Structure 1
Amino acid sequence: MISSWMVIGAVTFLIAIGSFFITPRDVKWFAQLSRPRWLIFEPLIPLIWTVIFICGAASAYIVWEKNPGSTITWLIMGLYLLLEIITVSYIPLMLRFRSLKTGEIIGLTGLIGGIVLAICVLPISKLATLLLLPYLLWSPIGSYTTDELRQLNPEEA
């Protein structure tokens, strides 16, 4: 039998990697946007999101192990899945529509989803909730950065 952590890890990995295959060819558009001077950590963003996804998968594993297979646990797993899909859709949708506003809306939707998930997870496990903190801390930074990009590139908003 396959362990639950392997399934959760595989699903997390497949969804995250899947976004690379649906990313449109409009990367040049995004690369040519003006950026704020303080955005010096941009090369670290893939590493930051990797850590966030690992923490999210660990959080999901803890929740699953508390009450495997129950209806509530399945619903919460659905929330984890939805949050990851929202998160990885940021780049493909923003590039497809060439719209920073689209990216900002997706980012804020993810933040709201992350808060809802954390509230649902809190009564089950404080550790699982703590593992969601990297997402909850980074998501507003990403939304703020996208808003700053909109301010610097009003024609691309």
Structure 2
Amino acid sequence: LGVRNLIQGLGEALPFADDTFDRVTMGYALRHVADLHALFAEYRRVLKPGGEVLLLEITRPERALPRALLKFYMKGVVPAVTRLFRHSSEAQELMRYYWDTIEQCVPPSTILAAMAEAGLHQAQRRIVLGIFSEYCGAEAGTDR
């Protein structure tokens, strides 16, 4: 399954025609998006009527103890293991940065509200292991 055509673009300004895709997905990048409303409006634009959006993201735990444990793991354990196996200060710093992006995540309620405001119906979130979030929504097939 080689990639034949690689097209790059911003999620907020996708280089595709209206009603192009049955499904739009994004994995672990939502926390890097500056304008969620523009992103979800653009996703809805490129979705065919009845199309689906599926997003995967790491979410900062709401409770203090799980949050502290995850922070220790991401800022302490992961960089230390990275240092052992990669011997790279850049890789170690990247692992620390990863936690910083998780800590600054947009709250799930804001994500769900932005999806709904963009016209993605049945927006919902499923949580796995307390930190992984799966967001789903559908284009209802109504007039835009």
**Is TM more than 0.5 here?**
no
Structure whose alpha-carbon radius of gyration is higher: 2
By relative contact order (CA 8 Å, sep 6+), the higher-ranking structure is 1
Q: What is the TM-score with the length of structure 1 in the denominator?
A: 0.30
TM-score, normalised by the number of residues in structure 2: 0.31
